[in-house]
Structure 1
């Protein structure tokens, strides 16, 4: 076991996304997962039915105690649904996360369409959270909101990624799963330029938690000392196989097979 990843995100009672997907991913890739849970959700493979708030002081205490005792190599943020939660996690990163690499998954909308981020918080995400990110991992709808522009092709992805880099993250992995076509195109943008990753698209409804899983897989690689490109490549391969071998649970957007690396 190598690489300590502290995940600040919400819990998914269905187990396909959120904290549950994060813990499974980090563990399946040989890392150590710890958590600062930001919210509890009651959800299934169709939608989020309810959200239970976690007091921000308790979020901060989870973060502080974990880092003080266990330490941290990488921090991954997921569902930070309110301004006060974002501000709390940002303070925790500054106060307790020194030396840790930060992967920000700007979770805004669940797979079933439910909003997971208050509509009036985009400004604080841009001003406070993005400058602390070593890697930002938005999907196209999230990137379109943050960059304030439509994204309909690879050229637009590049323009949006440049705009997002301008907000302060050191790298942006723009996930192209919402584009149409048989090929899946992701774009990694850094100060050194762009790198395009292509792969085959799997026609399946069982893609719940792909964003959480990808970000946690990258965070695990970085926590283990992998260069960014290698961490991204491994994360993409891990997620592809997790989709390909998905168990088919649920009647909506089903979960992935996070355990495909586990062997009897």
Structure 2
């Protein structure tokens, strides 16, 4: 495992798709890494022509080229933590798992199993789900599905925070790694995320901000957790810090016509300082 000089920020690597609207994917990850004062590196898995209302087209990067990007980053930079997002094809999932097993064993890995866009359009081949469970989840420090992704993994609907807790415990037991189920799509006064680890669960709640449903919140949350893990936080501390920071952005969303995006600056233009 590489180490970084004490006068340099930790390096965070995102392995994900490129979002042309820059609200999610690689672009959201890099903005978040910067906000948390880490040096962000990338391995791009796919080019997605999309905006919050529609996915127009997807072109996958060859799995071998994805692997070469990961190798190039590890050859040149002291990676401290890794996250994955949209991997799209089973062959890409398996390539990423093989490269990380070889180049970054033991590094904190946050797996965000991106299966669909905010608008509901698919962002993953159907058989990618099995590849994630077989090859990538076992390497993870944390897996962060949203409600819909957790429902696909479990094969049943989730209607409440209690359902989320049961689902998180079931998934953590099945795959042997911690799961954070994001509850932002559920109704209620609070947005509650549930972490299951070692047979117990913890809830992370924040007041729901009315009318705030911006593009890319899942990518942003998992990237913020990754950044805090790179700085050496415990898993619970990393999740709590990421949740607080994301919640602080929601009252200041950017609206372009019908589409809503997260800001990564404070009102007035000052740089956002994570808590």
- Aligned partner of 1:113 in structure 2 is 120
Q: CA deviation at 1:45?
A: 2.5
State whether structure 2 residue 262 is matched by structure 1 residue 256.
Answer: yes
Structure 2 residue corresponding to 1:164, chosen from 168, 171, 194: 171
Which structure 2 residue ranges, 5 or more long, are not aligned?
A: 1-7
- Aligned partner of 1:46 in structure 2 is 53
| Alpha-carbon distance between aligned partners in 2 of 1:73 and 1:167, rounded to the nearest angstrom | 27
- Aligned partner of 2:25 in structure 1 is 18
Cα deviation 1:41-93 (Å, max 9, x = unaligned): 11123111111221111111110010111021111000011111111111111
1:259–1:167: structure 2 CA closer, same or farther, 3 Å change rule? farther
| Alpha-carbon distance between aligned partners in 1 of 2:272 and 2:239, rounded to the nearest angstrom | 23
Q: Report if the CA contact (8 A) 2:137-2:177 is conserved.
A: no
Total equivalences in the alignment: 263
Q: Report if the CA contact (8 A) 2:110-2:141 is conserved.
A: yes
Partner-residue secondary structure (3-state), 1:119: coil
Q: Report if the CA contact (8 A) 1:104-1:136 is conserved.
A: yes
Q: CA deviation at 1:22?
A: 0.1
- Aligned partner of 2:159 in structure 1 is 152
Which range moved further: 229-238 or 165-174? 165-174
State whether structure 2 residue 70 is matched by structure 1 residue 74.
Answer: no
In angstroms, what is the RMSD of aligned CA positions?
1.6
TM-score (norm 1): 0.95
| Alpha-carbon distance between aligned partners in 2 of 1:145 and 1:210, rounded to the nearest angstrom | 19
| Alpha-carbon distance between aligned partners in 2 of 1:205 and 1:243, rounded to the nearest angstrom | 6
Which structure 1 residue ranges, 5 or more long, are not aligned?
A: none
Q: Report if the CA contact (8 A) 1:15-1:255 is conserved.
A: no
Which range moved further: 184-193 or 224-233? 184-193
| Alpha-carbon distance between aligned partners in 1 of 2:96 and 2:59, rounded to the nearest angstrom | 18
- Aligned partner of 2:205 in structure 1 is 198
Q: CA deviation at 1:178?
A: 1.5
Name segments (4+ residues, structure 1) moved above 3 Å. Answer: none
